[in-house]
Structure 1
C-alpha cells in the first residue's frame, strides 16, 4: 500500500455561513485528501449560535472544543465544557453545542456507516 502525506492548510479552506450555526469549513474530505470514509469540519460559533450534531444510523460523530467555553446538551441534560472537551455520538445519537460567553471553535468529525 502506497501511503502519502497530505498537508491541508485549514486557514485557506472556504468558510460558509450556516444560519443559526455560525460558520463552517470542510477541512477533511475526499476532494482535499482522498478521505473516503470520514469528513471533518471546523465550526466557529458566536453568541446565539448552536451546532446541532446528529449521527446517522450506523454512523459516528465526534465534536471537540478547540477554543472557548460552552454547553453541550445531551439526552436532555446540559454539561458545561471548556477547551479540550468533546462529545462522541454513536448511531442515531444527537447533541447540541453552544457558546457560553464569546465564541467557540469546534472540530467536527463525521464517520458514516461503512459497508464492505
Structure 2
C-alpha cells in the first residue's frame, strides 16, 4: 500500500515538474519583450515575488487551503502547482487567481492529494 502511495506521489511530482518546466520554456520568448523593456532583472523578480504573495494571500482569504500550493509567477502569468485535498478547490483556486489584479493568465497544475500527505 505504501508503494502505491509513493508511486502516486512520485508521478504527481513528475507531472508538476514537467508542466512547470514546459511552461517556463514556452513563455520566455513571448514575455521577454514586454518584461525587459526598461526594467532590471531584480525589479522583475521583485514584481513576480510580490504578485506571487498577492495571489497566495487571495487564495487563503478565499478559503483555499494553500498548504500544498506553490504560486509561480513570470511576467503576470501565474502557475498554480502542488496538491489540494478537495477537488472543488482546484477550480476555486483558478477563479480566485484570475481575479487578482496584475494577473494576465493562470495555468492550473494542481492535483488531488490524499488527506494525510
TM-score when normalising by structure 1: 0.26
- Which structure has the greater CA radius of gyration? 2
- Structure number with higher helix proportion: 2
